[in-house]
Structure 1
Amino acid sequence: MRYTIATLAMAALTMTAAPAAAQSAAPVPILPDAAVLDVVATGEVSRVPDIATIRAGVVTQSATAAAALADNAAKMDRVIASLRAAGVAPRDIMTANVNLSPQHRYVENQPPVITGYQATNTISVKFRDVAKSGTVLDALVKAGANQINGPEMSVDKPEAALDAARIEAIKQARARAARYAEAAGLRVDRIVAIGEAGEDRGNGPRPPVLYARAEMASDAPTRVLPGEVPISATVSVRFLLK
């Protein structure tokens, strides 16, 4: 983060009357012995996530494109059926990607030869009960999913936590401004402007892709631990120092 202190020289201000529609906001008057301090600060709070989002895919290969797609569609139907049987609502199941690509054999000094086709269908699944998501992941693999990415943890309604982070950010900015003012032999008089620079709504990092085969699924259940996710807000605050 970068903080700048700019001392403003006194200037004669003249204003002429103008229609209300043509007038702009008047600048904040600065006293001749005043200085302006701009501070950027971030406030952060932690919350237990209540949403887990994963991507589950089915990858199939066949000699022809039609066969690869047909095999893939049949297996994906079973994956979706397993999700609905586990209580996942249709609104929480979304197609994320469908891909069909040829597979090649490469031989030196010869053009590549198509040996078959690979079809991939990936869905994004949102779990609103994080504690049960591990069990559903196991059911997905048994149903035919052989590509899993996630889970990504998040907070469903982060507004209250964001407000707490904003308050913390202002506190951080005030404390920092007081230290700068003291070092400069001044004091903080008041805030003249506040802006929100950005926010983090509590989406956890995306884990790497996990590949699995149904026949290799372990009898041990998959455990998904929610932990906590940070939720932050960054503000820019302009202080008047005297």
Structure 2
Amino acid sequence: MTRSLPALMLGAALVGLSAPAALAQSAPMEMHAMTAAPALNLSAYGEVKVAPDMATITFGVMTEAPTAQAAMADNARRMQEVFAALGRAGIADRDIQTSGLNLSPQYDYVQNEPPKLRGYQASNRVTVNIMDLTKVGTTADAVVSAGVNQIDGIAFGLKDPKAAEDQARVLAVRALQDKARLYAQALGVELGAVRTLNEGGGYQPPQPMPMYAARMQMAESDSTPVAAGQLAVRIDITGTYDLGR
């Protein structure tokens, strides 16, 4: 047993020396196997123009009084008149939502003197969805006549944007396919299948645009003119295509 021990140690040493050489020979083969196939990463978009079929108006009533109770009471009375006017204009209760209620003290400031409390300001803001675009101007006139003294703006939108989004999706995919074919042809390679496809964007209701008070001060026989125009619905996509070698 004591005579064979050096031979065993020598054999183990030889095995240890040969291991790095074996690893070095196999490494290039493994790296070659891990090399990703050539791919093409592209982006495209599709956009359609559609006429809006609804509008959203945000407006409010602001009142001031010497006391907080008086300011809130006056505001509540005027808002009741506004709600009644909305009902007469054909606006359903489900399309009316209070979007802000605020009460704050008001001070007069004089140089070198402490602020002096003047009274309190109450503000009640309401967001109204109008499902009939022919009623937008008359609704705005009705609430102003009922006591509204602040109009934040108007935004046009879609009740159901899915159809417009689907059209934009089809246009986006077609644009992506055309771009991929063009790149493959220019590179002189064969275009493979789509490896990944991701979507972004989509329909977003426009932000309210200001409605100027001057337009509210029209003759009783006229209603505030409102132009709906068109909305742009856009879908952005990105895709990865396999390429032949």
Q: What RMSD, in angstroms, separates the aligned Cα atoms of the two structures? A: 2.2
| 1:105-140 Cα shifts (integer Å, max 9, x gaps) | 111122211111111100000000011110111011
The structure-2 alpha-carbon separation of the partners of 1:10 and 1:84, relative to structure 1 and needing over 3 Å to count, comes to farther
Residues 1:116 and 2:137 are matched in the alignment: no
Aligned equivalent of 2:145: 142
Tell me the amino acid that sits aligned with residue 207 of structure 1. Answer: M
- Extract unaligned runs of 5+ from structure 2: 1-29
| 1:33-58 Cα shifts (integer Å, max 9, x gaps) | xx211112221111111110001200
Do 1:44 and 1:165's aligned partners in 2 also have CA atoms closer than 8 Å?
yes
1:199 to 195, 198, 202: 202
Aligned equivalent of 1:238: 240
What is the CA distance between 1:209 and its match in structure 2?
6.0
User: Using the alignment, how far apart are the partners of 2:71 and 2:157 within structure 1?
Assistant: 35
Aligned equivalent of 1:225: 227
| 1:204-237 Cα shifts (integer Å, max 9, x gaps) | 2321364579xx7321310222111011111111
1:125-140 mapped onto 2 (5 Å cutoff): 125-140=128-143
Aligned equivalent of 2:156: 153
User: Using the alignment, how far apart are the partners of 2:196 and 2:31 within structure 1?
Assistant: 20
| 1:51-78 Cα shifts (integer Å, max 9, x gaps) | 1000120011111111111100000000
What is the CA distance between 1:178 and its match in structure 2?
2.3
| 1:131-152 Cα shifts (integer Å, max 9, x gaps) | 1110111011000011112210
TM-score (norm 1): 0.81
The structure-2 alpha-carbon separation of the partners of 1:209 and 1:218, relative to structure 1 and needing over 3 Å to count, comes to closer
User: Using the alignment, how far apart are the partners of 1:153 and 1:175 within structure 2?
Assistant: 33
What is the CA distance between 1:102 and its match in structure 2?
1.1
The structure-2 alpha-carbon separation of the partners of 1:194 and 1:164, relative to structure 1 and needing over 3 Å to count, comes to same
1:152-191 mapped onto 2 (5 Å cutoff): 152-191=155-194
Tell me the amino acid that sits aligned with residue 75 of structure 1. Answer: R
Do 2:154 and 2:211's aligned partners in 1 also have CA atoms closer than 8 Å?
no
Aligned equivalent of 1:86: 89
User: Using the alignment, how far apart are the partners of 2:232 and 2:57 within structure 1?
Assistant: 19
Question: Counterpart of 1:88 in 2: which secondary structure?
Answer: coil
Task: Give identity over the alignment, percent.
Answer: 40
Highest CA radius of gyration, 1 or 2? 2
User: Using the alignment, how far apart are the partners of 1:212 and 1:78 within structure 2?
Assistant: 22
Do 1:141 and 1:217's aligned partners in 2 also have CA atoms closer than 8 Å?
no
Tell me the amino acid that sits aligned with residue 237 of structure 1. Answer: G
Aligned equivalent of 1:25: none
Aligned equivalent of 1:45: 48
Do 1:147 and 1:209's aligned partners in 2 also have CA atoms closer than 8 Å?
no
- Extract unaligned runs of 5+ from structure 1: 1-8, 14-28
Do 1:149 and 1:210's aligned partners in 2 also have CA atoms closer than 8 Å?
no
User: Using the alignment, how far apart are the partners of 2:114 and 2:62 within structure 1?
Assistant: 26
Higher strand share: 1
Do 1:146 and 1:212's aligned partners in 2 also have CA atoms closer than 8 Å?
no
User: Using the alignment, how far apart are the partners of 1:235 and 1:189 within structure 2?
Assistant: 18
Aligned equivalent of 1:12: 33
After superposing the two structures, state which structure 1 stretch, 100-109 or 87-96, moved more.
100-109
